Amino acid sequence: MTSMKTISDRNLKKINRVRKKINKGRIINKDIMKVFAFFAVLFSALIIYLCYFLSFQSGSVINNSYNRRSDVLKKSVLRGSIIAQDGSALAYSELDQNGNEIRVYPYGNVFAHVVGFDSNGMAGLEASYNYYLLTSHLGLFEKISNEFHHIKNTGDTLQSTLNAGLQNYIYQLLGNNYGAVICMNPDTGEIYAMVSKPDFDPNDISEIWDYLVEDHSENEYADLTDSVLLNRATQGLYTPGSTFKLFTLYDYWLEHPDEVNRFSFDCKGIMAVGDTTISCYNGAHGHEDLSAAFANSCNCAFGTIGSHLDLEHFRSVNEKLLFGRDLPVDIPSKASVFSLSADDSEFDIMATAIGQGNTQMTPMHLAMVVSAIANDGVCMVPHLAKAVLNPYGEITKQFRPQVYTRLFSETEAQLLKSYLRSVVTDGTAQTVYPGNFQAYGKTGTAQKENEFTGDYDHSWFVGWAENNEQKLAVCVIVENMETAGMTGVYLSKQIFDYYFGY
C-alpha cells in the first residue's frame, strides 16, 4: 500500500519552478497544442467533406459510364423501376421462382429505345441512370436487416418526364413506318415522347440480341435503313430537307437585315445552276416576298439566297446553332454535321441552303432549335429524367429544368416565329392550322438519290403548338412515307389534336 502524502499548494508551485528550470527550452507546450489544434481542424474538415461526399455527392458521381462497379451494386440491390410522369411503370424488376432477377418492360416495344434495356451492354435511360437505379435509399436499419436476411434492397425509382399516353398514341400512329418522333416542352426541356421505329421488344433482348447486331448491311446507308437498335430520334442523322431553310433564313437575316423587307423573288418553278437544275416541289410559286418564299418552301428562292451568303458566316452561325456539338440530352446522341466549304460548287452551296446537300441533322437537334424559338430564344436542356424516388416514394433527387444556352435574341425569336407561323397559315403546313391551338412549324422533304436503296423521300415536320396553358414542340420524320398520306405534317396534326384535345 502506497503511503499518501499531501503536497501543499505552495510546494506545488515550487515544483513547477523546478520543472521550468529543467525545461529551460524555448518551446512552449501551448504552441505545440495550438499546432495540434490546427491539424485537428484540418482532419475534421476531411471528415466533414467525406460525410458530405457520401451523403450528397456520391449518388451523382458514381452514375458514370466509367464506373465499372455496377456488378458490385447488383449483388445487394434489386434494380429500381423506371416510371412515366404519371407513375405508370415502364420497367421494373422482379424475382422469378428461382430467385433470379428479371427485368420486365410492360409496354414492350413502345418505349424500346428511350427506356432502353439493362442487359447486353445497356441502352437508353437504363444505361444513363444505371447507378441511380442501383442505389437504394432504404432506411439504414432496414438495409442492415435486409443484409442479414440476405434480401436485396429495393433500388430507387427513376421518374421520367415521358407521357405514357402520348408515347403510346404516337407509337400506334406511326404504324409500320420507319422514322422518329420527339415531343417536348419547349419551356422546360422535358421530353414527353420519343419514338423510334423500327423497334424491338426489350423483354426479349437477350434472345434477339444476336439477330439484331448481325450485320444485315452491305451498304453504307444500312445505318438508317435497318439498324433496329439505333434510337433514330437522337442518333439518326437525316438530311434535313426544307426544314433547313430555317437556318438559311436566319443567316440571311443576320447578314442582310436591310434586304429582308425588300426581298422579292419571281419563282418559275425551275432554275438552272451550271449543268444542273434546282426545281420547286409543286410548280412555280410566282412572285413572292421572303415570308411567302419560306411558307411555300420555295427552293429556287432559297437557293438564290444561299448563293448570296458568306460561307464562313453561315458556318459560324450554324455552329452556334449546335451543328457539330454533342447535344446535352441525357441519353446517347450524335452531333449533326454541317459541311460546306469555299471549294464547293455553286450547286452544292445552293443545295445545302435548301437542305439537300451533305448536311445531316438529328431530329433531337432540330427539336431543340425550334423549341428555343418557341421559348423566346432560350434553349433548355432536353431531359428525360424528372426525379429519383426512394422506395417509399419520396423524392431524393429532382432534375430541374436547366437553361442550356441562348440561341436567339428575343427579337430574332419573334421574327422567326412569324415566319414559322406563316408556314401554317399560308404555306405548306396548312393541315395543322385548324384546331384549338396555335401552331408554328416548318415542313420538309428530304430527297436523296441512293444507288443502293433507291431514291428516298423522308417527310419532316418540326414546330410547336400552344394554347393558353400549354406548349408542345414536335419533331417528326417519316422515312420513305410507305403509307400514303403519312407525312410529317399529318402526324403532327394528329399529335397536337391528341395532346390539346379535339
Partner 1 sequence: MIDIVYTISKYLIMICFGLFVIISFRVQRDVPEEMKQQTYTVQRSLMIAIHAVAFFVIALHVLNGDSDINIWYLIAFYIAQLAYLLVMTMLIPRFVRLNQGINHVMCMFLTVGFIIQTRLSFENSLKQFVIILVGTVLFLIICFFCKRAKFLRSLTWVYCIMGMGLLMLVLILSTVSRGARLSLEVGPFSFQPLEFVKILFVLFVAGAFHKSTSFKYVVITAVCAAIHVGIQVLCNDLGSAFILFVIYLMMLYAATRRFIYIAIGTAAFAAAAVAAYHLFNHVRIRVSAWLDPWSDINGKGYQIAQSLFAIGTGGWFGSGLFMGNPSSIPLVSKDMVISAIAEELGGIFAIFMILLCLCFTLMIFRVSIRVSMTFYKLLAFGLGVSYAVQVFLTIGGAMKFIPLTGVTLPFVSSGGSSMLASLITLGIVQALYVISESDVAQERRMIAAGVSLSEFDGYEDLKEPGNDEYDENDEYDDEYEDDEDFYDEEYDDNDNSKREPVENRVFFYDINDIHENNK
| CA distances in angstroms from 241 to 57, 68, 77, 212, 466, listed in the order given | 44, 42, 48, 30, 25
In the complex, what is the shortest distance from the CB of residue 118 to partner 1, in angstroms, rounded to a whole number? 18
In the complex, what is the shortest distance from the CB of residue 34 to partner 1, in angstroms, rounded to a whole number? 9
Residue 402 binds to partner 1 (criterion: CB under 8 A):
no
The rounded distance, in Å, linking the Cα atoms of 462 and 213 is 31
Task: Give 55 or 468: the residue with its C-beta nearer to partner 1.
Answer: 55
Residue 50 binds to partner 1 (criterion: CB under 8 A):
yes
Residue 36 binds to partner 1 (criterion: CB under 8 A):
yes
Which one, of 363, 289, 285, lies nearest residue 322 by Cα?
363
Residue 100 binds to partner 1 (criterion: CB under 8 A):
no
The rounded distance, in Å, linking the Cα atoms of 384 and 84 is 10
Q: Which of 20, 308, 313, 320 binds partner 1 (CB under 8 A)?
A: 20
Which one, of 378, 365, 312, 304, lies nearest residue 334 by Cα?
365
Cβ(340)–Cβ(357) below 8 Å: yes
The rounded distance, in Å, linking the Cα atoms of 494 and 4 is 101
In the complex, what is the shortest distance from the CB of residue 37 to partner 1, in angstroms, rounded to a whole number? 10
Q: Decide: helix, strand or coil at residue 171.
A: helix
| Residue given cell 434546282 in the structure block | 278
Q: How many residues does the chain have?
A: 502
Residue 326 binds to partner 1 (criterion: CB under 8 A):
no
Residue 104 binds to partner 1 (criterion: CB under 8 A):
no
Residue 484 binds to partner 1 (criterion: CB under 8 A):
no
The rounded distance, in Å, linking the Cα atoms of 145 and 161 is 34
Cβ(310)–Cβ(255) below 8 Å: yes
Binding mask 126-155 for partner 1 (x = CB under 8 A): -----------------xx--xx-x-----
In the complex, what is the shortest distance from the CB of residue 123 to partner 1, in angstroms, rounded to a whole number? 20
> How many residues bind partner 1, per CB under 8 A?
63
The rounded distance, in Å, linking the Cα atoms of 251 and 314 is 6
In the complex, what is the shortest distance from the CB of residue 38 to partner 1, in angstroms, rounded to a whole number? 8
In the complex, what is the shortest distance from the CB of residue 303 to partner 1, in angstroms, rounded to a whole number? 41
And the C-alpha cell for 317? 452561325
What is the per-residue DSSP string for 33-56? HHHHHHHHHHHHHHHHHHHHIIII
Residue 56 binds to partner 1 (criterion: CB under 8 A):
no
Residue 19 binds to partner 1 (criterion: CB under 8 A):
yes
Task: Give 100 or 176: the residue with its C-beta nearer to partner 1.
Answer: 100
Q: C-alpha angle with apex 127: 125 to 133, nearest 5 degrees?
A: 80
Residue 502 binds to partner 1 (criterion: CB under 8 A):
no
Residue 7 binds to partner 1 (criterion: CB under 8 A):
yes
Cβ(256)–Cβ(278) below 8 Å: no
Residue 400 binds to partner 1 (criterion: CB under 8 A):
no
Task: Give 36 or 452: the residue with its C-beta nearer to partner 1.
Answer: 36
Residue 301: strand pairing partners = none
The interface region with partner 1, picked from 11-19, 157-165, 340-348, 401-409 by CB under 8 A, is 11-19
In the complex, what is the shortest distance from the CB of residue 95 to partner 1, in angstroms, rounded to a whole number? 16
Residue 35: strand pairing partners = none
Task: Give 65 or 411: the residue with its C-beta nearer to partner 1.
Answer: 65
Task: Give 156 or 190: the residue with its C-beta nearer to partner 1.
Answer: 156
Amino acid sitting at position 433: Y
In the complex, what is the shortest distance from the CB of residue 33 to partner 1, in angstroms, rounded to a whole number? 7
What is the per-residue DSSP string for 195-240? EEES---GGGHHHHHHHHHS---SSTTHHHHT-TTS-HHHH--B--
Residue 58 binds to partner 1 (criterion: CB under 8 A):
yes
C-alpha gyration radius of the chain? 31
In the complex, what is the shortest distance from the CB of residue 478 to partner 1, in angstroms, rounded to a whole number? 38
Q: Which of 30, 100, 207, 262 binds partner 1 (CB under 8 A)?
A: 30
* Residues engaged in binding partner 1 (CB under 8 A): 2-9, 12-23, 25-33, 35-36, 39-40, 42-43, 45-47, 49-51, 53-54, 57-59, 61-62, 64, 66-69, 71-73, 75-76, 143-144, 147-148, 150
